[in-house]
Amino acid sequence: MTGVYESPKPRINASMLSQYIGRPVCFVGRLEKVHPSGKALTLSDGEGKSASVELSEPLDEELSGIVEVIGMVSNKGTVMAVSYTQYREDKISFDLELYNEGLKVLHDFPQHYPFEIWKD
Amino acid sequence: MWNQGKYGEASMAGYTQSPGGFGSPAASQGGDKKGRTRAQQIVPCTVSQLMSAVQAEDVFKVGEVEIAQVTIVGVIRNTDKSTINIQYKVDDMTAAPMDVKQWIDTEDMGVDNSVIPPGSYVKVSGNLRSFQNNRSLVAFSVRVLEDMNEVTSHMLEVVNAHMQQSKPQSMMGGGAGTNMMPTAQTSMSSTGSYSGASMMLVNGLSANQNQVLSLIKSCHEPQGISMQDLKQKLSSMSVTVIRYTPPLGRVS
């Protein structure tokens, strides 16, 4: 699904999932659970709400802490991930709640943080 | 130079009170001398803004904001190293990954020219270039993020920088002027004081901060409003954000 990489991927939290069905998104959350199959994760956002993530292939590494997932939102409101990145916290821990506040600011001011390109 | 490596260095960027000796006095802040005044600030941007920027001769503009030197924060998707440069594709989620070129200084042994691997989050500082309809950044700094909170701070700095520079010039004089901020509350105009290098213009507070301020002001008890009360009334806001509300001048 290389199309996802080339598209804008709005940063959202769990409450916004339903508004982005069928669209690429970027979801950052704390890893709560990994399904025994290794193909599904549960992440919690800065408001404590959960989101389900489905991976195209089982995890082949240990994941923990803060994970950023890129993918399309399915009809069921799960994120069909095409890639994931673990946020490093080896030196300084990531403030997920503050990130959530920042995310809300982005959505409050789309004219100053566009998730799209304006071409005349 | 650019205070590289210091967390929050970009908090100074984008405002003309920057320490860099570019010889750009406050005049460029007012924008009165539009003629030859070039953007001397380094402006935090998104890739989408860089791609959307309008080019007139050799000047780029994002809305009202003139940009030349910019910073972006994103994750490296691709790398390509040659003997003279390293090319990255950096994805900040706002558009397709952006081309970033970093020249290798073969003589300067103090500079680390090793390629940063894909999947790493970086902050890129550089100049926007357009060549044959292709936009790219020529970077003078590509720094791996050690503190991922810089992702959050960059998001906020971008909004702040573009919001502040879009304001009408009368704001700078400290006058109340017209309230352009859709979310600012009118109680803010009474503050009036413009405290020098502070980034806080009268209407420069976010919606959250305005809420916190108006709650504090609405409490008439001599000991002020407690964190508990604030937290209760602003249930949607985390304690971190309430605490984070920067100094608001005389609130008592």
For tokens 């069921």, what's the residue?
Answer: A76
**In angstroms, rounded to a whole number, what is the distance separating the alpha carbons of residues B92 and B70?**
14
Q: Which of A2, A82, A101, A104 to mutate to test the interface with B (most CBs of B within 10 A)?
A: A101
**What is this model's ipTM?**
0.94
Cβ pair A98:B162 closer than 8 A: no
pLDDT tens string for chain A (120 positions)?
Answer: 458 989 999 999 999 999 999 999 999 999 999 999 999 999 999 999 999 999 998 998 989 999 999 999 999 999 999 999 999 999 999 999 999 999 999 999 999 999 988 765
Check residue A73 and give its pLDDT. Answer: 97
Q: Which of B7, B76, B77, B93 to mutate to test the interface with A (most CBs of A within 10 A)?
A: B93
**In angstroms, rounded to a whole number, what is the distance separating the alpha carbons of residues B91 and B199?**
28
Choice between B130 and A1, residue whose per-residue pLDDT is larger: B130
Q: What is the pLDDT of residues B166-192, one digit of tens each?
A: 665 444 433 333 434 444 443 443 333
> How big is the A-B interface in CB pairs under 8 Å?
109
Reference B125, options B135, B133, B137, B113; nearest CA is B137
Cβ pair B240:A7 closer than 8 A: no
Q: Which residues, 6 or more positions from B108, have their beta carbon under 8 angstroms from its beta carbon?
A: none
Q: Give whole-number Cα distances, A65 to A29, A51, B114, B237, B245, in Å.
A: 8, 15, 28, 22, 27
**In angstroms, rounded to a whole number, what is the distance separating the alpha carbons of residues B173 and A71?**
46
In chain B, which residue's Cα lies nearest the Cα of A86?
B119
Reference B74, options B9, B2, B148; nearest CA is B148
Q: What are B240's two structure tokens?
A: 């971190």
Residue among B52, B94, B238 whose CB faces A97 most closely: B238
Neighboring chain B residues of A103 at a CB cutoff of 8 Å: 155
Highest mean pLDDT, choosing among B12-26, B58-72, B215-229: B58-72
Question: Where exactly are the structural domains of chain A?
Answer: 2-88
Confirm or reject contact between A7 and chain B (CB < 8 A): yes
Quick one: average pLDDT of B97-104?
95
Give the type of residue at B97: P
Check residue B194 and give its pLDDT. Answer: 35
Q: What is the pTM of this model?
A: 0.68
Neighboring chain B residues of A11 at a CB cutoff of 8 Å: 93, 155
- Per-residue confidence at B200, pLDDT binned at 50, 70, 90? very low
**In angstroms, rounded to a whole number, what is the distance separating the alpha carbons of residues B252 and B249?**
9
Mean pLDDT of chain B: 71
Confirm or reject contact between A8 and chain B (CB < 8 A): yes
Tell me how many degrees the CA angle B69-B72-B78 measures, rounded to the nearest 5: 115
Confirm or reject contact between B164 and chain A (CB < 8 A): no
Out of 2.60.40.10, 3.40.50.1980, 1.20.1530.20, 2.40.50.140, the CATH code matching A2-88 is: 2.40.50.140
Neighboring chain A residues of B151 at a CB cutoff of 8 Å: 87, 99
Asked whether B167 and B180 are in contact (CB, 8 A), the reply is yes
**In angstroms, rounded to a whole number, what is the distance separating the alpha carbons of residues A93 and A73?**
28
**In angstroms, rounded to a whole number, what is the distance separating the alpha carbons of residues B158 and A113?**
7
**Is residue B26 exposed (0-12), middle (13-18) or buried (19+ Cβ within 10 Å)?**
exposed
Check residue B231 and give its pLDDT. Answer: 63
In chain A, which residue's Cα lies nearest the Cα of B78?
A5
CA distance to partner chain B, nearest, from residue A94 (Å): 6
Q: What are A50's two structure tokens?
A: 């959960």
The H or E element containing residue A28 is strand A24-34
**Residue B94: pLDDT over 60:** yes
Q: Which of A4, A96, A109, A120 to mutate to test the interface with B (most CBs of B within 10 A)?
A: A109
Reference B49, options B155, B194, B191; nearest CA is B155
Give the type of residue at B95: A
